[in-house]
Structure formats: C-alpha cells, structure tokens
Amino acid sequence: MSGTRLIPGLVPATARPANRGPAAVYGPGMTRVRTGTVVALAAAVVAAAAVLAAQLVSLGPDSTAYAAAAFERTGPVVGPGENPLYAIQEVLKGQTAAVLHGDRDAYLGAIPVADTTLRDRAGDRFDALTALHVTRWDLATNGVPGQVNGAWRLPVSIGYCFDDPGCTPIPLLIDTEWTVVHGRVRLVGYEQTDRPWDRSRLTVRRGERVTVAGAGSVAPELLDRLLQASERGAPVDDRAASAFGGPPRRYLVYVAGDEEWKRWYVGDTENAAAYTIPLQPGTAEVVVHDRSIRADDWNLTMMTHEFAHVVTLAGNRYPAGAWWLVEGIAEYIANGDGGALHDDLDAVQRYLTDGRWDGTVALGPPAAGATLDDTVARYGIALLAVTYLAQRFGEAKLFEFFTEVVRRYGTVEAASRTILGAEWPAVAKDAAAAVRQAGRQ
C-alpha cells in the first residue's frame, strides 16, 4: 500500500476509503519497535522514561513496592563498578506501581521538579494511560545492560492491556539507555513507540461499549459525535461476533489529527478514512482521521465497518487473496441500513460502465496510486459479491465460509464445495452476474 509505513510484524490489509479506511494486521509474536533512533538526553526521553517505567513490571494493588517511594525522587544507589541492572529494575518497578495506582505525583517523582517540560510531557502520558484504563504492564529486561560511550543500553520487552486485566498482553520490544550520576541511575534515552498513548496528549470519552481517545488537536465535539455513532454501531458488530468467537470486552478508537495520522501505527494511509489494527489475537484498535467524521449516518457506517474487522479478524493474519472477502464482509455487516451500499454503488456503476472490471469476484486490494473512485468501487463489488453469497446460501453459511477461508486459510474452492455445497467457479460466475445486475440499476 503506497505511502504506508509498516512496523515489522505488520501486514498491510484492508482499508475503508475516504469514503472509508484500511485495516492492518499484526502477525504473531513480539513487535520490534523501529520508529526512529533512540533519543538521548532529551525532554521527550524523560517524559517517555516515566511511561516506560510504567511498562516494565506488573504489580497488584497490594504491592509493597508502591509504599516504598523514597527512590522516586532520589533513585536507587549504584555502587562503584556495579552493573545498574537491579537499580534500573527498582526505578521501573516504582514508577509502574504509581501508574497502576493512579498516583500522578509518585509517577512524576523520578523527573526533576525544575524540568517542567519533561514533567508536563510525562504527565500527559500518565493521563492518557490512566484515562484508557491501563490494567496490565508485563515488562522485563532482556539480558544485562552493556556500556557504550558512557551510557548503559538495555532492551526491554513490554506487554500491556487496557480495560482487561486478564487479557493476553500486547507485546513490544524497545531499546533503552541509562546513565549513573552521583551513584544514582537515570533513564536518558528510550525508543519511543508508535502507540497513540505514547506519542500524543489524549482526550478520552467512554461509553458503554466503546472508548474514543482523540489527539489534543481534535475538537472535543467530534469525539462526542464519533462516540455516539460508535455506540450505535457496536451492538450490530456484537451480534455478528457470535459467529466469530464473541465480541471484544470493549472497542478502542483513536482519533487522529493530520499530524497524528502520519505518526500513529502504520502512518499515513492512502485514500483512508479509518483503519483497524489487530494488535495480537483477540485485541484490535481502530484509528480514525478526524477529517472523516461527518454526518451521523456516515459515521455509523464507518464505525460499524471498522468494528466488523475487529470481530471477524479477531487479531488474526489473513491470506492475501482474501481481501475481497475481508472487506466484503465488513461492508456487509455495516450495510444493515443500506448505508454502505449507498456509499459504494455510484462508484461501482462507473467502474462497470467504463469497462474497468473483468468480472473477477475475488478482487485484490486497490493498487498503489489508485483513485478514490476505483478504491470505492472495489469495496462495492466486494460488498455485492458477499451479499449475493448471504442471500443464496444464508448468513450462517457465509460466516462459516469466511471462517474457513480467512481464519483457517482454506481455499475458496474447497470451502465452496464443503460449506456452500457448490463448485466455486459456478458460484463466482453467478456472483459476478449479480454484481453486474446491481451495477445496471
């Protein structure tokens, strides 16, 4: 996908065009964060130090480490010639406990009082984490610190969760740098992640099923409107989720301004209004460009589509040839009120009239540099094809077919034969005829 910066472990997936936007999917395993060089001795680093500290251990509310806060302003002692590993772990343990207990003063205690810039930035991150209901930080040092050019370098693995203390932690791996000053260990550099909570000041709105978190540049009324639409759409996706292992505990939506849209997760995306990031099995988040928040009906269709990715993919990588089915089923779920088809149909009709479609139902994603009209048309064709399958074979069979092809990596030929009871070439031919008929209306 042109213009998309991918984090290792991310696979370009599908998008709902600016009529909609894409989804990208994490593969299994830990994501190695490579969003830039390690920042050393900078304000952003110290702010992130506090955040990182919140990431390196997981402590319960009765932790005795929380009560021992003297080091938060002075730091643990490192003896002459001593490796600072244990001191680093103590700093991180104390700051993490402060985050999990919601103690902002203790969290900021490791940052010099005079450095107001660092404290403000660290405070923003603390506020974002707590507003998002961080419930778990599983963090571990990888190996022993090694000294390079006077600084101690140490990779740190991170696992975190929001709203669900029993979840499978979302994994990250970052580099950190430390120094010892007057016998006290200090964090002087760390690899900032691409996560919205780590890169932006956030304003958070919480509904019954959905959390919406917007960058500081996003107007609060846009967050309210999007939350309202998201709450309306969530029950639709919750019902569909019963065929795919059940709904998530909560849907999490980030709203980006222009700058955040370039920095968060996959970065700037072509012709996209929103995209879904499955972070790992069972966990996914949605990112929306604030410019895409429009009329209520539009917002409803957009969010129902994105939440459909959350429930149907459930954090799983899908085969490249299944783009049409992944996007088609998201459009299908979002089309309960006819809104998705209304958005797509004009583009489909132009696409067919201009002779740009060869009759292939199993379309791939839009090519790099594709026009918005071409992109929307592909979504519309995918929607019409999936709708045909549902009407002919029933929704239950459609969902079973999707699961076999997308979640289990079966072939469409085998899935059609065993689940739909018909040969795929004949089914595809009939689906193409249904698409052409709709395109003539």
Please give the domain boundaries of the chain with CATH numbers for all domains: 1-29+195-317 (3.30.2010.30), 36-192 (3.10.450), 318-441 (1.10.390)
Q: Which pairs with CB-CB distance under 8 Å and at least 24 residues apart come from 109-118?
A: 109/69, 109/72, 109/73, 110/49, 110/50, 110/53, 110/72, 110/73, 110/75, 110/187, 111/46, 111/47, 111/49, 111/50, 115/43, 115/46, 117/43, 118/43, 118/46, 118/47
3 state SS of 37: coil
How, if at all, do strands 22-26 and 10-17 pair? antiparallel
Closest CA to 252 of 221, 274, 219: 274
Q: What is the Cα–Cα distance from 143 to 160, expressed in whole angstroms?
A: 20
Do the Cβ atoms of 284 and 277 come closer than 8 Å?
A: yes
Amino acid, single-letter form, for residue 357: W
d(CA 363, CA 324): 5
Q: Is the pLDDT at 98 greater than 60, yes or no?
A: yes
Count CB neighbours of 291 within 10 A: 13
CA distances from 8 to 28, 220, 223, 360 (A): 11, 33, 30, 32
Angle between helices 220-241 and 296-313 (to 10 degrees): 50
| Residue 4 predicted with pLDDT over 60 | no
Pairing of strands 184-190, 202-206: unpaired
Please, which pLDDT band fits residue 257 given cuts at 50, 70 and 90? very high
Q: Is the dihedral of CA 103, 105, 109, 111 positive or negative?
A: positive
Q: What is the mean pLDDT of residues 282-311?
A: 96
Q: Percent of the chain beyond pLDDT 70?
A: 82
Query: Could you give the CA distance from residue 261 to residue 274 in angstroms, rounded to a whole number?
Result: 10
Q: What is the DSSP letter of 404?
A: I
Helix (H) or strand (E) holding 80: none
30 membership: H or E segment, kind and range: none
Q: State pLDDT tens for residues 398-424.
A: 999 999 999 999 999 999 999 999 999
pLDDT at 73 over 80: no
Is residue 32 over pLDDT 50? no
Q: What is the pLDDT of residues 101-157, one digit of tens each?
A: 898 887 777 666 777 777 787 788 889 999 999 998 777 889 999 999 998 999 988
pLDDT value at residue 86: 95
Q: Are 435 and 381 in contact (CB under 8 A)?
A: yes
Gap between the Cα atoms of 54 and 49, Å rounded: 8
User: In terms of C-beta density within 10 A (0-12 exposed, 13-18 middle, 19 or more buried), how is residue 144 classed?
Assistant: exposed
